[in-house]
């Protein structure tokens, strides 16, 4: 099976940092990363403040806020919720479908071995969730 090993260039749309409008619970976000980190925040009214943030700024803001009680146990569920919203857009789903037959591997240089693969090691949870959504 062919692999897509980098969510850059023509495959940048697979990255959570890719700018594509996403709506979750009535709030519009500019990218999946900010939408994901907003889900971490216990105060649902504060999630509006994430709508226009970059992924890095959203992460920094979310880490300072009180998290929802089940964040650690259900982190994959929250990511899947965000990805389903992202790829509910027919244009985005068409792009995702264009990767059929390819293994999606979120190789990175920022040492993330949970959502991706760093130095050849990692769980690649983001890649697996993307393939799950693509194949449904």
| 108-127 confidence digits (pLDDT tens) | 988 999 999 999 999 999 99
Beta-carbon contacts of 48 under 8 Å, excluding residues fewer than 6 positions away, are 27
Segment 39-60 mean pLDDT: 94
Q: Which CATH class is domain 2-135?
A: mainly alpha
What is the rounded radius of gyration, in angstroms, for the C-alpha atoms of the chain?
14
| 54-71 confidence digits (pLDDT tens) | 999 999 999 999 999 999
Contact 32, 16 (CB under 8 A): yes
Question: How far is it, in rounded angstroms, from Cα 104 to Cα 2?
Answer: 9
């Amino acid at each position: 099976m062919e692999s897509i090993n980098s969510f850059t260039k023509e495959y940048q749309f697979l990255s959570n940092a890719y700018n594509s409008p996403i709506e979750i619970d009535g709030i519009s976000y500019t990218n999946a990363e900010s939408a994901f980190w907003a889900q971490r925040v216990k105060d649902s009214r504060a999630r509006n403040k994430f709508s226009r943030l970059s992924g890095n700024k959203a992460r920094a803001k979310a880490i300072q806020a009180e998290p929802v009680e089940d964040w650690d146990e259900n982190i994959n569920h929250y990511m899947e919720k965000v990805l389903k919203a992202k790829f509910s857009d027919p244009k985005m789903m068409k792009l995702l479908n264009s990767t059929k037959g390819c293994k999606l591997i979120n190789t990175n240089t920022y040492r993330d071995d949970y959502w991706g693969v760093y130095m050849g090691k990692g769980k690649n949870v983001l890649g697996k969730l993307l393939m799950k959504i693509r194949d449904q």
